[in-house]
Amino acid sequence: KDYFENGKIKIVATYNENGKIDGEFKVYRENGNLIFVRAYDNGVKTGPYKGYHENGNLFIDSYTIDDKYDGNYLEYHTNGKIRFEGTYKDDLKVGIWKEYNADGILITKGEFGNGGIKIGYWESFYDDGSPKYAGNLNNDGEKIGKWTYWDEDGKKTKEKF
């Protein structure tokens, strides 16, 4: 354990015989609130990872394997509502990812393919949930086909092919 000058705990960690972090590792703010807790295996980040906002609300809920994000990933706004949700594989975004504003309204949705490249159908929304743009990307992340754009009043402003 390591402590702040005020006597509150700063770090809680267990080390193995090789001097590497092994097991749960916690870091705290000076006010006593948790910054994050994560699992290590012989000095390598492997297992659950949770990070927290200064107000104590959850910031990140994820999993790591061999120092890389791997599996479901959730990131939260300070008010506790989800900001990002998706999946990582070998530290790269894969599959469908969604982004929400602080009110919980979906503002971006799309897919990541091999190499963490944006592919497939992507759509974005204004903060009130009305459409902003939508279209497709090829496997290289380049726009293909029809892309449609709207203004904040919901009026279609442009279609590009």
Q: Note the pLDDT of residue 115.
A: 92
Long-range contacts formed by 123-132: CB under 8 A, 24+ apart? 126/152, 127/101, 127/103, 129/105, 130/154
Among the listed residues 98, 54, 62, the one whose alpha carbon sits nearest the alpha carbon of residue 78? 54
Q: What is the pLDDT of residues 70-89, one digit of tens each?
A: 999 999 999 999 999 999 99
Q: Which of 123, 126, 127, 134 is nearest to 158 (CA)?
A: 134
pLDDT of residue 161: 84
**pLDDT of 57 higher than 90:** yes
**Three-class secondary structure of residue 114 per DSSP:** helix
23 pLDDT exceeds 90? yes
Is 20 a residue whose pLDDT tops 90?
A: yes
Residues 6+ apart with CB under 8 A from 67: 44, 45, 46
Q: How confident is the model at residue 49 (pLDDT cuts 50, 70, 90)?
A: very high
pTM score, whole prediction: 0.91
**DSSP bridge partners of 89:** 92
**How far lies 157's CA from each of 61, 127, 143, in Å?**
38, 18, 18
